[in-house]
Amino acid sequence: MLFNSYEFIFLFLPIVLLGFFTLSLFKNCVLSIAWLVAASLFFYGYWNTKYLLLIVGSIVFNYFLGNLINKEIKNSKPDFCENRLAATANNQTNVFCSQP
């Protein structure tokens, strides 16, 4: 199934949108997101199931890597380089935005 195919435009997309907006009426974001994830996995697995395994592996790897990065950012203290970068960005903004 391609994005410009008739089965995507007239069958898959309306079903996904209808399901998403119907679940959104219940004010439950988790169900709406789960619906979109399931539809996305169906879409990618429809063409070739080997790619479904690849995208699920990529999702899991990126999820755990993102959590690891987030934990490191929360536990670290700002160092000289981060402070210097912020000061440089602030100075450049002042140069470009200042009135003559």
DSSP assignment of 46-97:
HH-HHHHHHHHHHHHHHHHHHHHHHHHHHHSPP-HHHHHHHHHHHHHHHHHH
Q: Mark whether 40 and 80 lie in a shared domain.
A: no
24 CB contacts (<8 Å, ≥6 apart)?
A: 32
Among candidate residues 47, 65, 81, the one where a domain is terminated: 47
The total number of residues written for the chain in this structure? 100
Mean pLDDT of all residues in 58-76: 86
Q: Mark whether 12 and 36 lie in a shared domain.
A: yes
pLDDT at position 96: 45
pLDDT at position 3: 79
Q: Mark whether 54 and 79 lie in a shared domain.
A: yes
Q: Which domain holds residue 7?
A: 1-47
Comparing 46 with 1, the larger pLDDT belongs to 46
- What's the predicted TM-score (pTM) here? 0.61
Confidence of residue 87 (pLDDT cuts 50, 70, 90): low
Q: Mark whether 54 and 98 lie in a shared domain.
A: yes
For the chain, the average pLDDT equals 80
Q: Mark whether 35 and 8 lie in a shared domain.
A: yes
Q: Mark whether 34 and 64 lie in a shared domain.
A: no
The number of domains in the chain is 2
User: How far is Cα 56 from Cα 41, in angstroms, rounded to an integer?
Assistant: 8
35 CB contacts (<8 Å, ≥6 apart)?
A: 16, 19, 20, 23
Q: Mark whether 66 and 88 lie in a shared domain.
A: yes
Q: Mark whether 37 and 58 lie in a shared domain.
A: no
Q: Mark whether 100 and 53 lie in a shared domain.
A: yes
pLDDT at position 34: 92
Q: Mark whether 67 and 32 lie in a shared domain.
A: no
